[in-house]
Amino acid sequence: ANRAVVDDIFELFDIAITDADDVQTVYRKMFALSGGNPLYTAELAKGIAQKRAAWFASIREEEEGEEADPVPPSLIKLLEEMRPARVEEVVYFRFDQLDPAWQTILKLAAMAASNGAPFTVPMLQFLLANDKSLSAHTPKNSSAHLAFEDNDLANTINYILSTGEFIYIKNMSLATPIVDRGNAHIDFDNDVLNSLSLSWHISMEQRAIYELMLDEQKISLHATMAKYLQTLHPSPDITALHELAHHQSLSRDYAGALRSYHQSGSLLHAKGDDRAALSHFTAAQRMVSQLRAAAGVNDHQSQQPQPGGFKGCTLEQMQAVFAHDGSLVDVAVRTLLRLAESLLIFTRTCEDAQLTTLAHRNARVFLEQATTMLEHLMHQAPGAESKNHEKMGVDFDALVALFWECFAVSSVQVPQAYRDTESSLEIMMEAIAALKASVPASAQLVDEVEEDV
């Protein structure tokens, strides 16, 4: 029935489904976001139909069609960005009717699940006990955090689960008592609650409630959540690192997020999953851009996204960006080299000339940025004395090895003399110059390009 509603709305707006659209994927994404709620589904369909219809209207209005984007906006991308006002009004109305204790728990749950991951009662307990921002609710709910002095968290969670509203039990242990889905009352003890994995019924409701919080409160809560995850996972796997990096980035701990994304990307690279690794390394590089912006370095550049940004950067600027932390510079250089390597591999099989040009251009910029940073590190610790390098927290030998990996996937014929002296940074710099020169410079690029290939 919901799919019929979507089809009717698309027909009403005369929306054109292009070859680039995977219709089944669009339907699945729409129903995943809406939870199958007919109103939410209709509002999503209406929203993306209006956006797509507006795009076709702009094409028709352009006499030559040169100024309009020749590619229609992706329906999946539109869905991910869509926040229908009517849906938010419905969610906010329901939310305002709730007890302050409920509101607090749901806000915490919305933050904990902001990356789509399930959450647990121990997470919420840790947030309540350790975060100081809970007094920063809107004035109407400014006393919500005090509600738990008199109301037990377990009772609140049990009551919310009993209503079937907003959140549900995603996973449970074999020891968890069986409860009828239609049961009007749930009364789990603390041990059972602590073993449950909880999730949101509807992503759109989670998004809406998350946006109710003040920016300062979100930053503080994400920072507290990152501390919890670090305690929970002292030796995190790829999934845990990715979740940790998400909360670190939203708490504006860009240095921590850079390390976490790089670590998860490195684990994926070691497993041979280079495509997934590229996504994580790209996220790590975005954290370098955030550090640069926070330090006010290269903020004079155009608004066009650039993969580099350190070409011509001074030693003082680099130190400001990375807070004089050589080990963080080490991680940044490794990230840039992995990205350059991935793009050079991509150009081997890509048949699209424009994408190949773009990949070569970005690989060249990544190499230039990594080289500039390496030159600054050499200036800080002249010579090849390992003690100087260790004090800085930089593994120069490992960085040199990564440069050689970039050579391995490029068309450059590296002289054997260079390989025999791969621990010499001075000779390595000469080889790097040859590598950069071998990567075609892009003479003609489209005016606007995507940040990711």
pLDDT at 110 over 90: yes
Top mean-pLDDT range of 15-24, 83-92, 113-122, 188-197: 113-122
pLDDT at 108 over 70: yes
The 10 Å Cβ neighbour count of residue 185 is: 10
pLDDT at 121 over 90: yes
Residue in 280, 199, 198, 288 with CA at minimum distance from that of residue 238:
280
- Identify whether the C-beta of residue 157 lies closer than 8 Å to the C-beta of residue 137: no
**Which pairing describes strands 167-171 and 197-200: parallel, antiparallel, or unpaired?**
antiparallel
Q: Which residue has the tokens 């959450």?
A: 119
pLDDT at 405 over 50: yes
* Percent of the chain that is helix, strand, coil (3-state, to 5): 65, 0, 30
With bands split at pLDDT 50, 70 and 90, how would you rate the model's confidence at 150?
Answer: very low
Helix residue ranges, H only, 325-444 = 326-349, 353-380, 386-392, 396-408, 416-420, 425-438
Cα–Cα distance measured from residue 124 to residue 299, given in angstroms and rounded to the nearest whole number = 38
Show the tokens assigned to 213: 């919080």
Cα–Cα distance measured from residue 446 to residue 358, given in angstroms and rounded to the nearest whole number = 9
Residue 226 burial class via C-beta count within 10 angstroms: exposed 0-12, middle 13-18, buried 19 and up: buried
- Identify whether the C-beta of residue 327 lies closer than 8 Å to the C-beta of residue 395: no
Q: Is the dihedral of CA 151, 157, 159, 163 positive or negative?
A: positive
Higher-scoring residue by pLDDT: 32, 13: 32
98 three-state secondary structure? coil
Q: According to the model, what pLDDT value does residue 166 have?
A: 93
pLDDT at 160 over 70: yes
Beta bridge partners of 167: 200
pLDDT at 138 over 50: no
Cα–Cα distance measured from residue 395 to residue 398, given in angstroms and rounded to the nearest whole number = 5
User: What is the rounded average pLDDT for all residues in the chain?
Assistant: 76
The 10 Å Cβ neighbour count of residue 52 is: 23
Q: According to the model, what pLDDT value does residue 54 have?
A: 75
Top mean-pLDDT range of 245-254, 367-376, 434-443: 245-254
pLDDT at 355 over 90: no
Q: According to the model, what pLDDT value does residue 201 have?
A: 92
pLDDT at 258 over 90: yes
Percent of the chain with pLDDT over 90: 29
- Mean pLDDT of the region 296-312: 52
Q: According to the model, what pLDDT value does residue 444 have?
A: 32
> What residues does each domain of the chain span?
2-82, 92-214, 216-438
Higher-scoring residue by pLDDT: 310, 193: 193
Show the tokens assigned to 156: 């609140």
With bands split at pLDDT 50, 70 and 90, how would you rate the model's confidence at 206?
Answer: very high
